[in-house]
């Protein structure tokens, strides 16, 4: 029997990563959905176990791995660092997704490092608004550009959605990730 932290028997998956940048804030506004009832709340002093829950809620289906095996102390120092900003989407009172901004390269850029919604909250008409909310939160810091990346293991509409909001591809790469079992 293996657990999520044991990668010895996990299969390797290939992914094509697209790095995108936006050099101006979007000009169009996306109205806030009326159903389900939603709230977007910036997290302060986020507990590691709650972050791990959110990371799995959104990232397991897409095989996110960068933070999967970090020990608690290392993860805590990253997610509660002054250059990290995490906002959580709630739908009908339940955690539905999150986005994380990396402000380390500010003012040159802000990166939307993690972004997504749990599977149960996809297809409810929240995606465009939530994407706009993440992009707007990044632009509030007045960077020269906003960066994001997506890959072929992410939601199939992600790349097209980012481009519709004004992101342009700047580079690509092929990577291998460990399947999240």
pLDDT in tens, 58-113: 999 999 999 999 999 999 999 999 999 999 999 999 999 999 999 999 999 999 99
Tokens linked to 141:
């810091």
* pLDDT tens digits along 3-59: 444 556 789 999 999 999 999 999 888 999 989 999 999 999 999 999 999 999 999
- The whole-number pLDDT of residue 2 equals 38
Distance between CA atoms of residues 165 and 68, nearest Å:
29
- Residue ranges of the domains in the chain? 12-178
> pTM, whole model, 2 decimals?
0.92
- DSSP secondary structure, 111-136, as one string: EEEEEEE-GGGTTSS-HHHHHHHHHH
Peptide bond into 107 cis (omega under 30): yes
What was the pLDDT predicted at 7? 53
**120-179 pLDDT per residue, tens:** 999 998 999 999 999 999 999 999 999 999 999 999 999 999 999 999 999 999 999 999
**Which CATH superfamily hosts domain 12-178?**
Gcn5-related N-acetyltransferase (GNAT) (3.40.630.30)
CB 124 within 8 A of CB 91: yes
């Amino acid at each position: 029997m293996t657990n999520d932290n044991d990668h010895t028997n996990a299969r390797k998956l290939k992914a094509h990563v697209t790095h995108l940048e936006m050099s101006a804030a979007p000009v169009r506004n996306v109205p806030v959905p009326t159903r389900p009832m939603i709230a977007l709340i910036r997290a302060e002093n986020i507990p590691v176990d709650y972050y791990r829950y959110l990371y799995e809620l959104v990232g397991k289906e897409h095989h996110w791995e960068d933070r999967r095996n970090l020990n608690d102390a290392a993860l805590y120092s990253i997610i509660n660092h002054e250059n990290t900003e995490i906002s959580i989407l709630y739908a009908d009172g339940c955690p539905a997704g999150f986005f994380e901004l990396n402000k380390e390269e500010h003012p040159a850029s802000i990166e939307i490092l993690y972004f997504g919604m749990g599977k149960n909250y996809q297809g409810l008409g929240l995606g465009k608004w939530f994407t706009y909310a993440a992009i707007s939160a990044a632009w509030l810091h007045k960077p020269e550009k906003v960066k994001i990346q997506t890959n072929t293991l992410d939601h199939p509409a992600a790349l097209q959605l980012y481009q519709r909001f004004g992101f342009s591809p700047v580079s690509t790469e092929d990577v291998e990730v460990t399947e999240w079992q």
